[in-house]
Amino acid sequence: MIKDRFMEEDRLIMPGERVDDLLRNGYRIIQDTGRFCFGMDAVLLAGFAKDARGERLLDIGTGTGILPLLMEARTEIPRLWGLEIQEESADMARRSVRLNALQEKIEIITGDIKEADRLFETASFDVITCNPPYMIGQHGLQNANQAKTIARHEVCCTFQDIAGMTAKLLKPGGRFYLVHRPFRLAEILVTLNACRLEPKRMQLVYPYVDKEPNMVLIEAIRGAKPRMTVEKPLIVYQSPGVYTDEIYDIYGY
């Protein structure tokens, strides 16, 4: 069995790629540092969305498939899809799904977010997750690597595109979970509200207790009534290189 596992891994890993342990259910993910590797934001989003309920989950802009893998490990959602515009990243995600023998539960589809309603039926998902590009157009430093630029900057879609399509694909009462940057919070809340995705829960993430927040986690519900709960701040480090207990719990250490 161990020999067969290593032979399968050898077939799935391409030159320049590596396999990282997700520390959940023994799951692993294929990554390429030359493209884009998942970060803490994806892990925190999966932890924030751990109470997601429903039969069908879609991760928009799934990259190499980190969120479907983590959500499958953390929840009881039986069917998950990941949508990714970059074929190379989508291919890595598919191979990670195979690496973990999850082909019956997770499907990765190559496609444009702006055309997702041609790939999926409207109002067909209970849960949608998204770790979107944070930067607007030319804002911030852009990487010379096109794959990383697309992952970090709104090159292929805007947050308006994401929110509008999410509203189309979610069932009434369906949940939308996202992670973003606080400097865009006002725009995000206005956009969600305009798309009838009512923000219901929010949590700010601080690198240290005495620093400004650098991430915001939001849960919105399609068609819900206005009323939002702001959860207690999530602090990442108690000292340099040492996570807080909350972060260790989210990572599963």
149, pLDDT greater than 70? no
Q: What local confidence, expressed as pLDDT, does residue 113 receive? A: 93
* Adjacent-strand bridge partners of 49: none
Give residues with Cβ within 8 angstroms of 14, minimum separation 6. 32
Which DSSP category does 135 fall into? B
More confident residue, 32 or 164: 164
More confident residue, 194 or 143: 194
Quick one: pLDDT at residue 154? Answer: 45
Q: For residues 173 and 14, give the distance between their C-alpha atoms in angstroms, rounded to a whole number.
A: 41
pLDDT of res. 245:
96
Judged against a pLDDT cut of 50, whether residue 125 lies above it is answered with yes
Rg of the chain, C-alpha, whole Å: 18
CB 196: neighbour CB atoms within 10 A?
15
Interaxial angle between packed helices 159-169 and 185-194, expressed in degrees from 0 to 180 and rounded to the nearest 10: 30
* pLDDT greater at residue 9 or residue 78: 78
pTM beyond 0.75, yes or no: yes
> 228 falls in which pLDDT band (50, 70, 90)?
very high
As a whole number of angstroms, the distance between CA 245 and CA 75 comes to 21
**What b-and-e string marks burial along 200-236, b requiring 16 or more CB atoms within 10 Å of the CB?**
bbbbbbbeeeeeebebbbbbbbbebeeeeeeeeebbb
Do 221 and 171 contact (CB within 8 A), yes or no? no
pLDDT at 150: 43
Q: Work out the angle between the directed axes of helices 2-12 and 87-99 (0-180°, nearest 10).
A: 180
CA atoms of 214 and 249, how far apart (whole Å) = 20
Position 16 scores a pLDDT of 81
Dist CA 12 CA 40 (whole Å): 25
Three-state DSSP class for residue 116:
helix
CA distance 236 to 251: 11
**What domains lie within the chain, and their CATH numbers?**
2-251 (3.40.50.150)
Dump pLDDT digits (tens) for 185-201.
999 999 999 999 999 99
Share of the chain above pLDDT 90, in %: 75
Average pLDDT, the chain: 89
Is the Cα torsion angle 58, 62, 65, 69 positive or negative in sign?
negative
